[in-house]
Amino acid sequence: MNGLERSLSLTASGMQAQATRLRHVAENIANADTPGYRRKTVGFEPAQVAGDGFGERSGVQTGPVRLDQRELPRIHDPSHILADETGHYEGSNVDLMIEIADARAAQRSYEANLRLFDQSRQMAQSLIGLLRR
């Protein structure tokens, strides 16, 4: 794999991982008011190119989706259909401020990878232009 292909592969894997992260953040925000919903988190792991005999790290991939194990808040609403005999039900452990911050971080990282992808493409075009002369 040459340098251009490697840089495009690295940035593409970063964009894909951040897009997955952003999808989970969007699911969390959409389910913030769903009773019993646990926040989903996803981590990143290094990825390797198949057939690369050097074992170089060549990107990033998402790891397994984990559910936030923090205790669910108990909400008092005797009229709610899920309320128990004491009038409480379990809410969601999604904190919108954390989700918005995570979404912002994922967006910025995606944009940074996109800029690197575009710069690699521009450098390749410049090289092709020089070789044509």
Q: What is the per-residue pLDDT across 36-89, written as a single tens digit (0 to 9) for each? A: 999 999 999 988 755 455 555 578 889 999 999 999 999 999 999 999 999 999
Residue 111 has pLDDT above 70, yes or no: yes
pLDDT band at 133 (very low <50, low <70, confident <90, very high): confident
Residue with tokens 């989903």: 40
Percent of the chain with pLDDT over 70: 92
Q: What's the whole-model pTM score?
A: 0.81
In tens, the pLDDT along 61-72 reads 899 999 999 999
Which of 93, 115, 90, 113 lies closest to 21, judged by CA? 113
DSSP 70: S
